[in-house]
Amino acid sequence: MGKGGERLAVVPNTKTAIWWDINSCRIPKGYDSYRVRPCIDSVLNKSGVVVDEHVSIFAVGNLLRLAPDDRKALSSSGIVMIHTDFGSSMCVWQVLSDWQCHNLPPATVMVISNDPYADLYFHKTLLRGPGALDEREVLEERYTVIPAYPLTAGKSWRWKAILKEAPPLKSPSDLLDHKCAASPLWICTKCPFETDTYDEFATHLYGTAHEEFLYDFTHFPPKDREIYYQYMRNKSRFPVEDPVPNEFPEKESKQQSAPEKKNKKKKNKKREEEKKLDQMSLKESEEFRKDCS
């Protein structure tokens, strides 16, 4: 297994897959998102990988933390966008394991993650995958691994260094046409939901179905409206004050029954006094007012 910057003995015409944890290795503020794919391609070329239809890049993490323009830019360059609401690091290994089940070695693999346990998880996932004889089998004989995760990578392949690999683009049209991108381009791991268009994915991500599934996945069914309200208020991406008004009208009426009874008694007493005054003469009414005062 080579160190960062070292040209590897890549098996030609084999599949290459890159998994990028977008939450631990973020795009710097002000960075052109269209440059990410060319930068990764440059790293692959320097490692001996021919960038062609056999290369797939998976961006895994909470896509809500990315600006819509960044999401579109990454997807337009052929990167598969995989959304998970929490646990982006663990989701990387799940996606890697699923890919491995359908892509037996030889293959070239690369993980970009700032997870302190990336080295351990990466090797264990590859060693116990399909086709492995036992854990004593030499890893290099099964996969060509490009070390990009910070713990074992040389300084050349650290995330910030990777983002400097490609020169600034004059326009998004400078990108190569990645017709070979894996399909579908947009995946929600929790629902599940898959599509090739951003508009459909955005509609799902901000829609009621995703919110309800996420709530059911993380909470017990709400028996009290305040529990549900507090949950919705705490969600930074969906702040609401009263999302379901009058959902439990019976409970609301019980909470307000005491003050309502007092007000009702006052109103009834006032009405009775007004009725008596109407039936009395002027002199009697004055005496009645004095008695009441």
DSSP assignment of 150-188: TTTS-GGGSHHHHTTSSPPPSSGGGS---TT--S-SEEE
In this structure, of 9-13, 21-25, 93-97, 202-206, the range with the lowest mean pLDDT score is 9-13
If you average pLDDT over residues 89-107, what whole number do you get? 82
Average pLDDT of span 204-211: 82
pLDDT tens for 254-278 read: 455 566 666 777 777 777 776 665 5
| Separation of alpha carbons 193 and 83, rounded Å | 10
More confident residue, 207 or 282: 207
pTM (2 decimals)?
A: 0.63
The three-class DSSP label of residue 259 is: helix
Q: List the alpha helices (DSSP H) in 77-150.
A: 88-102, 118-127
Q: What is the mean pLDDT of residues 55-78?
A: 90
Can you tell me the mean pLDDT for 102-108?
81
* pLDDT mean across residues, the chain: 70
Give the integer Cα–Cα distance in Å for 28 and 32. Answer: 9
d(CA 166, CA 143): 26
Q: Which residue has the higher pLDDT, 257 or 140?
A: 257
Percent pLDDT > 90 in the chain is 5
Instruction: Enter the tokens of residue 226.
Output: 């305040």
Beta-sheet pairing, 193-195 with 186-188: antiparallel
